[in-house]
Structure 1
Amino acid sequence: MKAGHVHFSLPARFFHWLMAPFVIAMLFIGVGMVATVSRLHLTLIAIHRPLGIAIFVLVVLRLIVRITHRPPPLPADMPGWQRCMALGSHWVLYLLLFAMPLIGWSMLSAGGFPVHMFPGFDLPPIVPQNPRLYAFLRGAHTWLAMLLFVTFLAHLAAAMFHGLIRRDGVFSSMARGNRG
């Protein structure tokens, strides 16, 4: 990708860099929620729910951009297994960022808990109240959150590998776009 490489579109870069701190915050908030029983727990929940829905809306928009704006090609000298890992890990990230908020919303619905977005506005339940379903979805949400954390770390490691070691333009294609 060195000479004459192309960059991600402006909308793709916008959503990527907008979502990155949201996802990082969500991972830390999620850990904090399960690690504390103090009054801070309720504050973290109050942030976690609307942030999850915001991530859901952003990932839907980002998927539309991904489908309508082709990403730049990977470097020609990149091994095939790395190409497969790159493509697969990106789609796993999209899937998790899409599924996690829906599972969380479903879990709360099954538990009979409202999803407060802001004062005066709650999301409607999307599944019937059911304690068994709640327990299943709670476990699924936890395990998928761990998978999201591992996938995020792998994505970050790959970005650093391309930016600091290979210096092949993959990182800069998302970091700075068409500028020099």
Structure 2
Amino acid sequence: MTNTSRHFSPLARLLHWIMAVLILAMLFVGVAMVATVSHAHATLIALHRPLGVALLVLYGLFIAMPLIGWAMLSAGGYPVTLFGAWHLPAIVPQNVDLFALLRAMHTWLAFTLFATVLAHIAAALFHGLIRRDGVFSSMARGGR
């Protein structure tokens, strides 16, 4: 969203909700398998910066989760097949100790991703229900 825009573009909203659906689907499948100008401005900026870091962590998780999952399956000797047709090559050698390490990492990252998604939902609800500053509606419906 730019400073001159009053709402998120339809493409930004579409990408956000596609990512939301995909992340939620990934989490459920994984579980199934095992700015204001006021006296509060400085406080809000102090809160905003770590949230920006959290966003970077979230994108890092988006990249790390599937790669570690692929490596884990490779180390376990399990084939990775996409849509029943495409077979991905192993990206690490088959090794039971490496499989155990990658499985633990994948599990830890899944819980971290789940906690990050919950924090994102909490922030959205905070903006929508408490601050009522239009941030929630700008992503939900496009109006701000």
Decide whether the 8 Å contact of 1:5 with 1:169 is kept in 2.
no
Match of 1:111 among 65, 73, 76: 76
Compute the TM-score of the two structures, normalised by the length of structure 1.
0.68
Aligned to 1:32: 32
1:59-81 CA-to-partner distances (Å, cap 9, x unmatched) read xxxxxxxxxxxxxxx44455123
Q: Distance in 1 between matches of 2:79 and 2:36?
A: 47
Q: Give the secondary-structure state (helix, strand or coil) at the position aligned to 1:128.
A: coil
Q: Give the secondary-structure state (helix, strand or coil) at the position aligned to 1:116.
A: strand
Aligned to 2:108: 143
Aligned to 1:64: none
Q: Give the secondary-structure state (helix, strand or coil) at the position aligned to 1:99.
A: helix
Q: CA RMSD in A?
A: 1.9
Match of 2:89 among 121, 124, 149: 124
> How far off is 1:136 after superposition?
0.7
Q: Which has the higher contact order (CA 8 A, sep 6+)?
A: 1
Aligned to 1:69: none
Aligned to 2:125: 160
Q: Distance in 2 between matches of 1:173 and 1:28?
A: 27
> How far off is 1:10 after superposition?
3.2
Q: Distance in 2 between matches of 1:141 and 1:80?
A: 33
Q: Give the secondary-structure state (helix, strand or coil) at the position aligned to 2:82.
A: strand
Q: 1:171 to 1:75 in 2, by over 3 A?
A: farther
Compute the TM-score of the two structures, normalised by the length of structure 2.
0.84
**Number of equivalent positions:** 137
Aligned amino acid, residue 8 of structure 1: F
User: Percent identical across equivalent pairs?
Assistant: 58
